A and B are shown apart, each in its own frame.
Chain A
Amino acid sequence: MLATVRLHNPRPEDRAGVHGPIEIELPSFLGMHDVMTNTDAAVSLKGVGKSFGAVRAVDGVDLDIRPGEFFSMLGPSGSGKTTVLRLIAGFDEPSEGRVLLSGQDVTRLAPFDRDVNTVFQDYALFPHLSVRQNVEYGLRVKRVPKAERRERAERALATVRLEGLADRRPAALSGGQRQRVALARALVNRPSVLLLDEPLGALDLKLRLEMQLELKQIQREARITFVFVTHDQDEALTMSDRIAVFNAGRIEQVGTPAEVYERPATPFVAGFVGTANLLAGDAAAAVLGTAGRHAVRPERIRLLAPDDPVAPDEVAAPGRIADIVYAGAQTRFLVDLEAGGRFTAVRHSRDEEREFGSGSGVVLAWRRTHTIALNDD
């Protein structure tokens, strides 16, 4: 008996000749289940843990990253996200669990035998090689003929807009340019998965915002699975298809940026991704009428004078302004609630709205649907 499997090939250069999915007939003894895992996840972690001595860096992580996805691993430093990246790349071996790349178990495979490439946080460019030689390194190791090597390196350098600098040494480049070389050096190998370890961390803000958009565009065009490690929630929200939020070696939540931001599963996620006002215990009971942990985003809150009307679908919480922080495009109001606790409300800096002074009494109002119920830790 034969089973027909539709394979999706994410590599653009191979798509030139073949339109649509490739159909391959497989004998049934291979087992449909194995084949399905092949097409399911570019990267799959199954119960992965990693201990360094007594330190538990990664604790029981299960994760499936889809082919062609821009996947971010977000968390504070020490949350285990970089360790997970190193486990995928093969720089470290997990203490327990399995790592699969396109369904193939690579847990015990050395980095040079895995079809992944990494953009390192410090770029790790070879200082004794020119930009071109750096980019060609992986191809040279794999004995790609010289002409093809040249051509692919040229194209990779063009992708990151560094055509003119091929003969320079890394030392003669700026930080942003080095970052691009590191990206080209990884992309030129056409890995099935590209791992990026806080690649924008060393760039200044303006350059970082530029590179965010550019990276996203490169990823869309190259159709390579990106696994992007960052501690910057803005970066993760801007660029990702999905985000895994890490805390203390565990994944707190996996979801799209909107899911993670609008429906954070835990207080940690609510606090780490964006700003959240937390309501719990007596304060929650007083304001919302129910106990348990809840969160409200600052930009959902309307700032009202005590005698202003509150809509019927809104929750109202009276308080007193403790501090006003002017931040250019918006102004942050820190409000001490009568029910207890301090809330942050944000207002765009506009003329027509009435001014509030520090110490004046206000009412915070937001729609009931904007109250986020959190799981307990």
Chain B
Amino acid sequence: MHRSPVRRLAGALHRRPGLRLSALLSAPMAWLVLAYLGSLGVLLMSAFWTTNDFTSQVEYVWNTDNFASVISDPVYRTVALRTLGIAVGVTVVDAGLALPMAFYMARVARPGSRRLLLVAVTAPLWAGYLVKAYAWWVMLSHGGVLDWLGGTPGFGVPAVVITLSYLWLPYMVLPLYAAFAALPDSLLTASADLGARPWRTFRSVILPLAKPALLAGSIFTFSLSLGDYLTVQIVGGTTQMLGNVIASDVTLNLPMAAAVSCVPVLLIVGYLLAVRRTGALENL
């Protein structure tokens, strides 16, 4: 019986599941290891190099001076803490906005308006980042919409939190929406049946069951805020975040920039470990 080469190959792969798996995964694994983890490794390595003060040339001399100055220099510490505070603030604001929004969309709104709201939440994702940041610049500026409505916080940390919260809100709303939509009606009915008023049901049933989604959304809002450096340039006034420090160091002192960028990486790893401890990641 004649069999085409493709069929023979398929047959051979069918008999060797290990080979099949490696053929399937080799391309993405190569990408992950070489491009992603590799570049992170190079970044970490370059943080141990140094820069010639006069020529700004990278010198491949191993030392830990960069990390020492990141830790000891009060400027770096202030910027790091401010960045952390902004990331936490954005996460809290987004959680506060997204919980009622997602709940309304998933469980209260009629199917027609639900679709409309989903589009409304996701539509800003299609617009350019800079367009949205500058839109907030316009709204926050003196004589802008907020000023006209009663007062603008001006350009600074509050403006950065507001703008970043707006930018990352969909990443919080969507996982929460999915979680609320998957919540069985009978659980809410059962809670009411057992004597719980709506607020109690929200605290004791809805919120705990939405926690994995809340944490998933917070990973987005937290890490995206930590790494941001454009919004703060547009609406931050003179405020600096870690991203700005890194961006300005990249051209003049690459090893120093690499050392500074280890700070948000460590913060995010720390946050992920904290989230993992809650056990929420297993339920994702």
B-binding residues in A (CB < 8 A): 89-91, 110-112, 116-118, 120, 122, 124-128, 137-138, 141-142, 185-186, 189
A142 touches B195 (CB 8 A): yes
A126 touches B187 (CB 8 A): yes
Question: B33 → chain A, closest Cβ, in Å?
Answer: 36
Residues of B within 8 A of A138 (CB): 194-195
Complex-state Cα separation, A185 to B194, whole angstroms: 8
User: Can you name 11 extra interface pairs (CB under 8 A) apart from A112-B196, A122-B184, A126-B190?
Assistant: A90-B192, A91-B189, A112-B192, A112-B194, A117-B193, A124-B184, A124-B189, A128-B209, A137-B191, A137-B196, A189-B195
B13 CB-CB contact with A under 8 Å? no
A111 touches B192 (CB 8 A): yes
Given A124-B189, A126-B187: A117 touches B194 (CB 8 Å cut-off): yes
16 A–B pairs (Cβ distance < 8 Å), ordered by A:
A89-B193, A91-B192, A111-B189, A112-B197, A117-B194, A118-B190, A122-B184, A125-B190, A126-B187, A126-B191, A126-B205, A128-B209, A137-B204, A141-B196, A141-B200, A142-B195
Complex-state Cα separation, A122 to B188, whole angstroms: 13
Count residues of chain B with CB under 8 A from any CB of chain A. 17
Complex-state Cα separation, A185 to B195, whole angstroms: 12
A124 touches B205 (CB 8 A): no
Given A142-B195, A189-B195: A124 touches B200 (CB 8 Å cut-off): no
Complex-state Cα separation, A112 to B201, whole angstroms: 11
Question: A110 → chain B, closest Cβ, in Å?
Answer: 7
Complex-state Cα separation, A185 to B204, whole angstroms: 16
B192 touches A127 (CB 8 A): no
A122 touches B194 (CB 8 A): no
Task: Determine which of A112, A126, A127 lies in contact with B195 in the assembled complex, contact meaning CB atoms within 8 Å.
Answer: A112
B194 touches A137 (CB 8 A): yes
Given A124-B184, A126-B187: A111 touches B193 (CB 8 Å cut-off): yes
B186 CB-CB contact with A under 8 Å? yes
Within B141-185, the residues touching A (CB, 8 Å) are: 184
B197 touches A122 (CB 8 A): no
Residues of B within 8 A of A189 (CB): 194-195
Closest 10 CB pairs of A and B: A138-B194, A124-B186, A124-B190, A111-B192, A141-B195, A141-B196, A128-B208, A118-B193, A112-B195, A112-B192
Residues of B within 8 A of A185 (CB): 194
Name the residue among A89, A90, A124, A185 with the largest chain B CB count within 10 angstroms: A124
Question: B187 → chain A, closest Cβ, in Å?
Answer: 5
Complex-state Cα separation, A89 to B192, whole angstroms: 10
Complex-state Cα separation, A127 to B209, whole angstroms: 8
- Smallest Cβ-Cβ distance to B194: which chain A residue: A138
Task: Determine which of B189, B195, B196 lies in contact with A120 in the assembled complex, contact meaning CB atoms within 8 Å.
Answer: B189
Residues of A within 8 A of B193 (CB): 89, 91, 111-112, 116-118, 186
Complex-state Cα separation, A73 to B3, whole angstroms: 65
Residues of B within 8 A of A127 (CB): 209
- Smallest Cβ-Cβ distance to B192: which chain A residue: A111
Complex-state Cα separation, A138 to B195, whole angstroms: 6
Question: A90 → chain B, closest Cβ, in Å?
Answer: 8
Residues of B within 8 A of A110 (CB): 192
Complex-state Cα separation, A112 to B208, whole angstroms: 20
Residues of A within 8 A of B192 (CB): 90-91, 110-112
- Smallest Cβ-Cβ distance to B205: which chain A residue: A126
A124 touches B196 (CB 8 A): no
Name the residue among B186, B190, B191, B192 with the largest chain A CB count within 10 angstroms: B190
Residues of B within 8 A of A90 (CB): 192
A141 touches B184 (CB 8 A): no
A120 touches B186 (CB 8 A): yes
Residues of A within 8 A of B204 (CB): 137, 141
Complex-state Cα separation, A128 to B192, whole angstroms: 17
Complex-state Cα separation, A257 to B205, whole angstroms: 40
Question: A281 → chain B, closest Cβ, in Å?
Answer: 47
Name the residue among B191, B192, B208 with the largest chain A CB count within 10 angstroms: B192
Residues of A within 8 A of B205 (CB): 126
Question: A181 → chain B, closest Cβ, in Å?
Answer: 12
Question: A34 → chain B, closest Cβ, in Å?
Answer: 26
